[in-house]
Amino acid sequence: MKRQLTITTQPIDEALLLRQRSMPAGMGAAVYFLGVVRGTEGNANIRALEYETFQSMAEHQISLLCDELAKRWPIESVRLVHRVGLVQAGEPALWVEVVAPHRGEAFAACQWLIDEMKRVAPIWKKPVPGDQ
Amino acid sequence: MRVVVCFYSYFKDLTGCSRVTETLPDGSTLEDLLDQLVIRFPKLASMRKSTLMAVGVDYQDRSYVLKTDDEVSLFPPVQGG
């Protein structure tokens, strides 16, 4: 299974990621998820989220998840980009794509990877208050 | 035995630092290290149950027996995405 894991302070360029998509013969499903910073946290408005990571461990843990994902489903490729640092409300913080022969495994693998990443990857976020 | 301890997220606020060196008897476990850290940094006590611990880039149980020069990381529950 091909994998491309990126943790970066740079903005996520969704258009570029879509142009770089590879769909080899036999692949019939590409599922992707875009996680965007909400402008609210509970009842309060926020301006941004400040993400912090223990990057080498986060990369290792996500790589372990990809190993497990490859055992569970016949996946062609996974691409995951997590932005860290200051991310303004309305901007993407997470982009995940799974390419597979069929939609069932693509949806299941994409959801599983995001759920597990949120459970084990050492990444934290702190809200930056906005106008009240 | 000396080990390096790194703190992440608001654990840096609770301890007032991001990195310390601790000296422990040979055969000490992560649980022993946590006992020692809670004495040195009492504000960690309230987070004790939910504290996650790693050695290098792998999570470890609190029964893990430490080795000289291990780099231990302590942090609160993660919340990426």
**CATH number of the domain that residue A7 is part of:** 3.90.1170.40
Distance from the B39 Cα atom to the nearest Cα atom in chain A, whole angstroms:
25
Domains of chain B: 2-75 (3.10.20.30)
Please tell me if residue B40 touches chain A, with a CB cutoff of 8 Å. no
What's the CA gap between A54 and B80, in Å, rounded? 11
Binned at pLDDT 50, 70 and 90, residue A130 comes out as confident
pLDDT tens, A48-101?
Answer: 999 999 999 999 999 999 999 999 999 999 999 999 999 999 999 999 999 999
CB contact under 8 A, A58 and B54: no
Domain encompassing residue A10: 2-129
**In chain B, whose CA is at the least distance from the CA of A51?**
B80
What's the CA gap between A105 and A116, in Å, rounded? 16
Binned at pLDDT 50, 70 and 90, residue A42 comes out as confident
> Dihedral sign, CA of B13, B17, B18, B23?
negative
C-beta separation of B44 from B51 below 8 A:
yes
Domains held by chain A: number: 1
CB contact under 8 A, A118 and B80: yes
CB contact under 8 A, B81 and A123: yes
What's the CA gap between A79 and A97, in Å, rounded? 5
Give the phi and the psi of residue A16 in degrees, each rounded to 5.
-65, -45
Distance from the B22 Cα atom to the nearest Cα atom in chain A, whole angstroms:
20
CB contact under 8 A, B80 and A125: yes
Hey, is B43 helix, strand or coil? Answer: helix
What's the CA gap between A121 and A32, in Å, rounded? 19
Mark residue A111 as left, alpha or beta (left: phi above 0; alpha: psi -120 to 50; beta: remaining). alpha
* Whether ipTM exceeds 0.90: yes
CB contact under 8 A, B81 and A61: no
Distance from the B57 Cα atom to the nearest Cα atom in chain A, whole angstroms:
4
Task: Specify the pTM.
Answer: 0.95
What's the CA gap between A114 and A67, in Å, rounded? 14
Please tell me if residue A122 touches chain B, with a CB cutoff of 8 Å. yes
Q: What percent of chain B clears pLDDT 90, i.e. is strictly above it?
A: 96
- A46: Cβ contacts below 8 Å, ≥ 6 apart: A38, A39, A40, A89, A127, A128, A129, A130
Binned at pLDDT 50, 70 and 90, residue B81 comes out as confident
Position A130, amino acid: G
